[in-house]
Amino acid sequence: MDKAYCFPCFLFDRYPSHHPAFTEHGFQGWKNIMSKQSGILKHMGGINSPQNTAMHKWETLRNPTKHIERVISTHSSQEAANHRLRLIATIECVRLLAKQGCAFRGNDKSADSTNRGNFDAILSSFGRMNLEVQRVFDNALGNAKYTSPLIQKQIANILGNKVREKIRDEVGSAKFCILVDEVVDASSKEQMAIILRFVNCHGFIRERFFKILSVADTCSQTLYSEISKVLTHNDLQIENMGGQGYDGASNMRDEFNGLQALFREKCLYAYYVHCFAHRLQLALNAAAKGVDDIYTFFDTLSFVVNFVDSSAKRHSALKATREEEIAELVAAGKLQIGTGANQACTLQRAGATRWGSHFRSITSLINLFGATRTTLAELAANGPKKIQAEAKNVGKAMKHFNFVFCLLLMQFVMKITDFPCQSLQKKSHRYFECSKLPKISKKKTSRVEREWLGCFDYKGCIILL
């Protein structure tokens, strides 16, 4: 072609080219070959010219010792050990926080923050215990510390998958049941928890928390789709499902479009069971609300507990009064002493969905009745002006005979209902054992009724008052 080309520029020059005469068209100006205006000298340029940059890349390409695979392979074993130690420390931090169910990050992640969160605190603790860990993190590059939130989430996800693999191996080819419930978390996202219940190879009933995932809504089709994805991904066949356990919401139990009906289309024997403990809670709550005096009693109980326990100052005053009361009773010989005895407990609030919490609330108020009454009287006489009237009204409500009568009556009754409540929530209970609970409860009811009629003649109310 009787033309000159620059091979390094042909390989590495950008597009469009700085000097197309030497990369695309070819150079033919032989008369001006050494000209600084249009020849080779102009093409070469200065030290930072495109031609010199291309030459440097060409020399690097021709030198095998500078290839990326050679550079990576020449990393020392010490550097690899440092990376491994950093990663191990991060994995152990994530494992600990995940197992304990603790938050990873704090509110302030800045360099001058005094509390950057649990993850950084544990990592610093590892560094104080082992100076080698501290050294490798202090000398780590910014992109090789393995402590970013993305790395933490990836490790947590890997650990979760490992746990699910163990559970899947434990299930094996056996039939299994699913237990599903939803709840709205602190960020107002709907979260669905999936639990597997099965009989292992040794013949023992096992319940394993399998996965929690966010769902867009709680309609039956959405829940069915998400649960099916989880089961399929973990090689759990819907045809091996032997039961379904949900609450009694219509999107769960509906016979035609409910979640249980969608699974029954795939597996006819996946019978739906409304959670026994939840059914008992609903029955007891409905029965209690059906009696006016009992309904009023629980409202008053919640009013008393919330007033005394909602303020730190009132809580402290109640605790101090109870400690003085315990000291006086022990000095008078009315209380026995021993390890763990006579602890200064506090009032317990009743939960909206747990009937057993009502029993704990009633028992705590009976134990602290005298201390609570003394605290309210002190607040009504010497407390802040804005709460004196309210403290007086709470004290009057506590000393009303109907309230005290129902307080003692419900303690007797709930001693009976607390037993099936706790029993139905056990992981290893069998259906045959659960079917005996009504008979046991009836026997206890008859015995408690005789005790109530035989020994309760208003003296308890008078003593409490």
CATH code assigned at 259: 3.30.420.40
Please report whether residue 107 resides in a domain.
yes
Please report whether residue 88 resides in a domain.
yes
Please report whether residue 69 resides in a domain.
no
Other residues' Cβ atoms within 10 Å of the Cβ of residue 270: 22
Shared domain for 312 and 460, answered yes or no, is yes
Please report whether residue 192 resides in a domain.
yes
Shared domain for 314 and 241, answered yes or no, is no
Shared domain for 18 and 120, answered yes or no, is no
- Residue 225 token pair: 């789709």
Report yes or no: 277 and 238 within 8 Å, Cβ to Cβ. no
Shared domain for 256 and 377, answered yes or no, is no
Report yes or no: 93 and 106 within 8 Å, Cβ to Cβ. no
Report yes or no: 55 and 8 within 8 Å, Cβ to Cβ. yes
Please report whether residue 50 resides in a domain.
yes
Report yes or no: 120 and 111 within 8 Å, Cβ to Cβ. no
Report yes or no: 274 and 258 within 8 Å, Cβ to Cβ. no
Shared domain for 251 and 318, answered yes or no, is no
Please report whether residue 1 resides in a domain.
no
Shared domain for 225 and 372, answered yes or no, is no
Shared domain for 119 and 189, answered yes or no, is no
- Of the candidates 239, 276, 287, 229, the one whose C-alpha atom is nearest the C-alpha of residue 414 is 287
Domain carrying residue 177? 172-274
Q: How many structural domains comprise the chain?
A: 4
* DSSP strand pairing (241-246 vs 205-214): unpaired
Shared domain for 125 and 206, answered yes or no, is no
* DSSP strand pairing (190-199 vs 176-184): antiparallel
pTM: 0.63
Shared domain for 267 and 338, answered yes or no, is no
Shared domain for 30 and 116, answered yes or no, is no
Shared domain for 260 and 403, answered yes or no, is no
φ, ψ dihedrals at 3, nearest 5°: -135, 155
Please report whether residue 71 resides in a domain.
no
Domain termination site, one of 228, 259, 274? 274
Please report whether residue 286 resides in a domain.
no
Per residue of the chain (465 residues), give pLDDT as tens. Answer: 888 888 888 888 877 777 777 788 888 877 777 777 767 777 787 777 888 888 888 888 888 776 777 666 666 777 888 889 999 999 999 999 999 989 888 878 777 788 888 999 999 999 999 999 999 988 888 778 888 899 999 999 999 999 999 999 999 988 999 999 888 887 888 999 999 999 988 888 889 999 999 998 889 999 999 999 999 999 999 999 999 998 888 888 888 888 999 999 988 888 998 887 777 777 877 787 788 888 899 899 999 999 998 888 888 888 888 888 888 887 887 777 766 566 667 888 887 667 778 888 888 999 889 899 999 999 999 888 888 999 999 999 998 888 988 888 888 888 887 777 777 777 666 666 777 777 777 777 666 565 655 555 455 555 555
Side chain identity, residue 254: D
Other residues' Cβ atoms within 10 Å of the Cβ of residue 398: 22
Shared domain for 324 and 383, answered yes or no, is yes
